[in-house]
Structure 1
Amino acid sequence: MSSKKIAGYLVGVSLALSSVALHAEDKVYRLKLAETWGANTPILGDAPKNMAKLAEQMSNGRLQIRIDSANKHKAPLGVFDLVKSGQYDLGHSSSYYWKGKVPNTLYFSSMPFGMMATEQYAWFYQGGGLELMQQVYEPHNLLSFPGGNSDIQMGGWFKNEIRSVEDLQGLKMRIPGFAGEIFAKVGATPTNIPPSELFMSLERGTIDALEWVGPAFDLRMGFHKIAPYYYTAWHEPGSETQFLVNKKVWDDLPADLQVILETAFRVAAFDMYNQAIHENAQSWAKMKAEFPTIQVRDFPPAVLDAMKKANQELLQEQAQQDPLAKTILDSQAEYLSAVRQWTDISLRAYLDTRE
């Protein structure tokens, strides 16, 4: 073959490769996301919608994400399995829902008496928390990313006032995660119920009490019509949701779309946190004005002491049983010890000046 023919051949190959590359860059990736929440659930459901819109805009349409709510896929507490198996590419839920399948997942939502949202975000992105979360999820063909924080969660709605630890004995309460284990240890009977069934369960007496989130979420649910005692926080000081990703789907995405998707996760999570604070404030003002029968209560010191004691005992048991659990819990405890010193002389000190 002459040099001229070789040159022509190489030009042809180059053009063909350029065409393939251009075609690859234009490829549209259509992903499906399953969420734990029902259709049009405020705040929680807004996060995946905002994420999908951002991902589409930033990718110039190359990422198209369809969201299926719980009423469509029929498995609100099955999102972990839906994404792991590949039935869905993405999920939006809460990590502590999977503690029965993978116990170490519960540490990445919110821990009783633990970090507040701002402290926990710092741990995720600066203190090694995100890397530990991937260490837990990757063996299950999953990746997990922070999915939006509902801020500090109220302690729950109770039909009867809690005056002592004795009042918790046999009390049937919807409360998931590690807090449920603490309640069990102090004598209550915790259970987890999908969001769509909460009001009916409380109304029919299937449960005596429940915790959901905070005013922005609770007001719409109408719990105050049945259980007038609204208790303040202890169990979820910064409750983080999650975006789940099927690992194979992630690996098949081009590098730029991985960056775009993760960026969309972070922005949507930040927006959800801001939205939760804003709407909690508005809803609490409405609750006070329109429903004066709501009675806000703090758990008595003896009850809090019992729960703190149970919390420490359970944490020690978890750490002794599983080396990875110990690594995660040690990381959280060390980070909390350091960051809370700053919180004390900054945020707490400022709030004290307002009293």
Structure 2
Amino acid sequence: MKLLKLTKLVAIATVTVSSLTSSLTMAADGKVYRLKMAESWNTNFPIFGDAPREMARLAEEMSDGRIKITIDSANKHKAPFGVFDMVRSGQYDLGHSASYYWKGKVPNTLYFTTMPFGMTAPEQYGWFYYGGGQALSNKVYNKFGLMSFPGGNTGNQMGGWFQKEINSVDDLKGLKMRIPGFAGEVLAKLGAKPTNIPSGELFTALERRTIDALEWVGPSLDLRMGFHKIAPYYYTGWHEPATELQFLVNQRKWKRLPDDIRTILKTAMKLSAYDMYIQSYHESAENWAKMKSEFPNIQVKSFPKDVMSAMYKANQELLDEKSAEDPLAKEIIDSQQSYMKKARVWTNISDRAYLDSVDAVEQ
């Protein structure tokens, strides 16, 4: 009996080893998967451009060279706001951009970047990965043969650079401002004239007074753009508390990839997205200190309470309108609002209470 049991165990072990060896052989079949990615940023654009390159590096390293990703920047493919269509058509397998850039063609895409008065970065990541956000993203993008994954977060963004001080809601009327996404619709409701301009054209547009104000990111990227030279008022944020970029994936191409390659790509995207969040936070801290010491003429402002109240009210009215117009928009908005309400309680008990307590002691 003991010999029979031993024989069975050896047989099971042999089958297991054989299966494992077969899997490893398949995983190391030597085939190289060459993918092309289009990004919305120019060559060597810091932080934003670092994320897709880090993703490509990680994918190649983790696959032992079986994944090779070529990245074409906006100054090569000439279509910074055309990444959606280029990946959808199969011209590119992957894209790196921002979901709210596509609101003109697919309005429900804008909710997956950030929302005014919305979630912070940790709250938004919790919603996306564990609170149903990914499933809702799939509902929006799958209709177009695409998949979207988080592509790097800037954290809370500044409210923008203004050539004139904002003292009342009336100062927003007729204001020409580069501001994309839902925030642009909020300002339009208050009489402003929002527009979207590629990053490479922002300084010139502000300098030539094509626009009166702009928001870009925050100290992590804004100082090197030179906006402070022509717009001295730098306002704190309200509109993008957790701006998440995206990796777009052509679904047909994705389905043709082996399971292990898909797993490696998802892991590389997730790691590089988180790394961008860390990098952006670090650079903001470094550049804020630099700004205060080297550029004392920059006037940091917060919008007056009546302006903030007007923007908040306009935002809520727009959310109600979107929910009434489109069942899927309502599903996304309700999901985000519900998750934020729950997560914010913990944010207040943890982060806000801690910071308030420390401030009280230090003062």
Q: For this structure pair, what is the TM-score category when the shorter chain's length is used for normalisation?
A: over 0.9
CA contact (8 A) 2:108 2:140 kept: yes
1:22: Cα distance to partner?
Answer: 5.1
SS in 2 for 1:26: coil
% of aligned pairs identical?
A: 67
Tell me the distance in 2 between the aligned counterparts of 1:150 and 1:70: 20
Unaligned runs of 5+ in 2: 1-21
1:134: Cα distance to partner?
Answer: 1.1
1:354: Cα distance to partner?
Answer: 2.3
Aligned to 1:197: 201
Distance 1:240 1:165, change over 3 A: same
1:26: Cα distance to partner?
Answer: 1.6
2:68 is the alignment partner of 1:64:
yes
Tell me the distance in 2 between the aligned counterparts of 1:221 and 1:354: 34
CA contact (8 A) 2:177 2:213 kept: yes
1:25: Cα distance to partner?
Answer: 2.4
SS in 1 for 2:52: helix
Aligned to 2:246: 242
2:186 is the alignment partner of 1:187:
no
1:221-275: CA deviation from partner (whole Å, max 9, x where unpaired): 0000000000001000000000000001100100000000000000000100000
1:156: Cα distance to partner?
Answer: 0.1
Match of 1:315 among 319, 323, 339: 319
Aligned to 2:33: 29
Tell me the distance in 2 between the aligned counterparts of 1:160 and 1:354: 35
Aligned to 2:124: 120
Dislocated runs of 4+, deviation >2 Å:
21-25
1:209: Cα distance to partner?
Answer: 0.1
Aligned to 2:278: 274
CA contact (8 A) 2:152 2:273 kept: yes
Distance 1:297 1:23, change over 3 A: closer
Tell me the distance in 2 between the aligned counterparts of 1:230 and 1:305: 19
Tell me the distance in 2 between the aligned counterparts of 1:254 and 1:260: 10
Aligned to 2:344: 340
Aligned to 2:5: none
Tell me the distance in 2 between the aligned counterparts of 1:25 and 1:119: 41
Tell me the distance in 1 between the aligned counterparts of 2:81 and 2:172: 26
Tell me the distance in 2 between the aligned counterparts of 1:314 and 1:36: 28
Match of 2:139 among 117, 135, 160: 135
Aligned to 1:354: 358
2:80 is the alignment partner of 1:80:
no
Match of 2:102 among 77, 90, 98: 98
Aligned to 1:233: 237
1:23: Cα distance to partner?
Answer: 9.5
Taking structure 1 as the reference length, the TM-score comes to 0.93
SS in 2 for 1:64: strand
Tell me the distance in 2 between the aligned counterparts of 1:22 and 1:89: 23
Tell me the distance in 2 between the aligned counterparts of 1:118 and 1:23: 34
Tell me the distance in 1 between the aligned counterparts of 2:167 and 2:342: 34
2:148 is the alignment partner of 1:144:
yes
Match of 2:332 among 325, 328, 332: 328
Paired residues in the alignment total 336
Tell me the distance in 2 between the aligned counterparts of 1:54 and 1:168: 45
Query: Letter of the aligned partner of 2:159 in structure 1?
Result: G
1:161-189: CA deviation from partner (whole Å, max 9, x where unpaired): 00000011100000000000000001100
CA contact (8 A) 2:178 2:194 kept: yes
Tell me the distance in 2 between the aligned counterparts of 1:25 and 1:273: 35
Tell me the distance in 1 between the aligned counterparts of 2:229 and 2:237: 20
Query: Letter of the aligned partner of 1:62 in structure 2?
Result: R
User: For residues 209-220 of structure 1, what are the structure 2 equivalents within 5 Å?
Assistant: 209-220=213-224
Tell me the distance in 1 between the aligned counterparts of 2:156 and 2:198: 20
1:321-343: CA deviation from partner (whole Å, max 9, x where unpaired): 11000000000000000000011
SS in 1 for 2:29: helix
Taking structure 2 as the reference length, the TM-score comes to 0.91
1:318: Cα distance to partner?
Answer: 0.4
Unaligned runs of 5+ in 1: 1-17
Alignment root-mean-square deviation, CA: 1.0
Match of 1:262 among 237, 260, 266: 266
Aligned to 1:295: 299
Tell me the distance in 1 between the aligned counterparts of 2:167 and 2:160: 15
Tell me the distance in 2 between the aligned counterparts of 1:353 and 1:22: 56
